[in-house]
Amino acid sequence: MDDCIFCKIIKGEIPSTKVYENQYIYAFKDIQPCAPVHVLVVPKKHIESAQKLTDEDTALLGEIFKGINEVARITGVDKSGFRVVTNIGRDAGQSVLHLHFHVLGGRVFGADFG
């Protein structure tokens, strides 16, 4: 998608701090971190949100979660624990319409999803 910020980040047209990359995903530090570890895991395929996943994306979803676990290992939160969040649509506060998973760690989170 030509006008998608995350597509531009994946292509290197907008700079980012890469944490991990493979053929399926690109993972980079969030520009507005909410925790000591705050990484966005993004599929290279443009999909608007988790709501737009189809049967064709079943294997991709597995690859995304393998990538999330790799990011947790690389950032050192795999033992202490981490939170994975994906926002869908207006009320959830999704601001970038390209599927992404926030990987948050390095502090203790409450049960309040606020």
In the complex, the residues that contact ligand DGP under the rule CB under 6 A are 5, 14, 16, 28-32, 40, 87, 93-96
Beta strands across the sheet bearing 25-29: 18-21, 25-29, 37-43, 101-105, 82-85
CA distances to 1, 39, 56, 71, 91 from 103, in Å: 24, 5, 24, 8, 20
Q: Which residue number, 15 or 79, has a Cβ lying nearer to ligand DGP?
A: 15
Compute the least distance from the CB of residue 75 to ligand DGP, in Å: 15
Active-site residues: which are they? 100
Compute the least distance from the CB of residue 29 to ligand DGP, in Å: 6
Q: Which residue number, 59 or 107, has a Cβ lying nearer to ligand DGP?
A: 107
**Distance of alpha carbon 27 from alpha carbon 56, whole angstroms:** 22
Compute the least distance from the CB of residue 107 to ligand DGP, in Å: 16
Whether 113 and 104 have beta carbons less than 8 Å apart is answered as no
Q: Which residue number, 30 or 70, has a Cβ lying nearer to ligand DGP?
A: 30
